[in-house]
């Protein structure tokens, strides 16, 4: 590794990836390194890690075109299943949500709804919309991160599942804020998606309850 590329400290040891903060030339970056899994056959493990690395990097690059704030990708190293991306300075929404006043909660979740509708109407499903995967910068910009479970889909079901996950996360981690936040989210989502396809928008939202009634959800960490 070049001396211009420095991994300074580990930010997170995840189930699938380790994240390091450091420098890539003069840029502050995050290295997202997908770790080998002993329980998989080695060759297969390599293929899975490479594919997921490429899928995530491509998704980040692609969705930037819709004007969505995501970390810029500086380098992709498929052989080492690593993405080098811009470090986004800010706070995870998960960590600051309770401290926000109701006006701000509504404001952010409306905007997040708008962002997710933009993704969906362009055929992208994020796959892991949680308050840990949203960063609010000091300028109050909203960044969406972690496209590790991203998929291309035009299916109502897949889009509903995306929204349903956020609903579950809000209920389980932010119970007292759930109602105000999810309502604002759906308002933002609808106002963007309705213009594109009102019937489909209604179907997607109605289908959240159908998924709910099936009663079994698979958490993101179990989907590995």
Ligand X SMILES: Nc1ncnc2c1ncn2[C@@H]1O[C@H](COP(=O)(O)OP(=O)(O)O)[C@@H](O)[C@H]1O
In the complex, the residues that contact ligand X under the rule CB under 6 A are: 11-12, 14, 16-17, 19, 30, 32, 71, 85-88, 92, 132-133, 145-146, 148
What SS3 state is found at 122? Answer: coil
What SS3 state is found at 151? Answer: strand
Q: How far is CA 61 from each of CA 53, 107, 112, 152, 218, rounded to the nearest angstrom? A: 12, 26, 19, 14, 27
Question: Using CB under 5 A, which residues numbered 118 to 137 contact Mg ion?
Answer: 133
Q: How many helices (H) and strands (E) in the chain?
A: 6, 10
Considering the complex, what minimum distance in angstroms separates the CB of residue 36 from ligand X?
A: 15
Reference 151, options 52, 19, 64, 33; nearest CA is 52
Q: Which residues are paired to 18 by β-bridges?
A: 13, 33
Residue 17 contact among ligand X, Mg ion, none, beta carbon within 5 to 8 Å by kind: ligand X
Residue 177 contact among Mg ion, ligand X, none, beta carbon within 5 to 8 Å by kind: none
Question: Which tokens hold the place of 50?
Answer: 């490479």
Considering the complex, what minimum distance in angstroms separates the CB of residue 133 from Mg ion?
A: 5
Considering the complex, what minimum distance in angstroms separates the CB of residue 130 from Mg ion?
A: 7
Q: What does DSSP say about strands 73-77 and 82-86: parallel, antiparallel, or unpaired? A: antiparallel
Using rule CB under 5 A, residue 146 touches Mg ion: yes
Residue 177 a catalytic site member: no
Considering the complex, what minimum distance in angstroms separates the CB of residue 17 from Mg ion?
A: 9
Reference 159, options 216, 197, 119, 187; nearest CA is 119
Residue 92 contact among ligand X, Mg ion, none, beta carbon within 5 to 8 Å by kind: ligand X
- CB-wise, 30 or 112, nearer to ligand X? 30
Site residues for Mg ion per CB under 5 A:
133, 146
């Amino acid at each position: 590794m070049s001396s211009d590329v420095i991994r300074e400290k580990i930010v997170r040891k995840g189930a699938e990836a380790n994240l390091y903060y450091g420098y890539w030339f003069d840029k502050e970056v995050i290295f997202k390194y997908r770790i080998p899994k002993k329980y998989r056959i080695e060759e297969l493990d390599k293929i899975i890690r490479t594919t997921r690395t490429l899928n995530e990097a491509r998704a980040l690059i692609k969705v930037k075109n819709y004007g969505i704030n995501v970390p810029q990708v500086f380098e992709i190293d498929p052989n080492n299943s690593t993405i080098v991306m811009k470090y986004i300075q800010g706070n995870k929404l998960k960590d600051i949500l309770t401290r926000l006043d109701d006006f701000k909660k509504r404001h952010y979740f409306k905007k997040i709804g708008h962002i997710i509708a933009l993704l969906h109407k362009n055929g992208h499903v994020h796959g892991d919309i949680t308050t840990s995967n949203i960063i609010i910068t000091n300028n109050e910009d909203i960044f969406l991160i972690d496209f590790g479970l991203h998929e291309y889909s035009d299916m109502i079901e897949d889009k509903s599942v995306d929204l349903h996950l956020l609903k579950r996360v809000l209920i389980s981690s932010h119970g007292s804020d759930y109602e105000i936040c999810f309502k604002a989210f759906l308002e933002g989502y609808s106002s963007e998606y309705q213009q594109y396809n009102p019937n489909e928008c209604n179907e997607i939202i109605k289908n959240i309850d159908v998924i709910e009634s099936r009663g079994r959800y698979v958490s993101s960490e179990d989907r590995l």
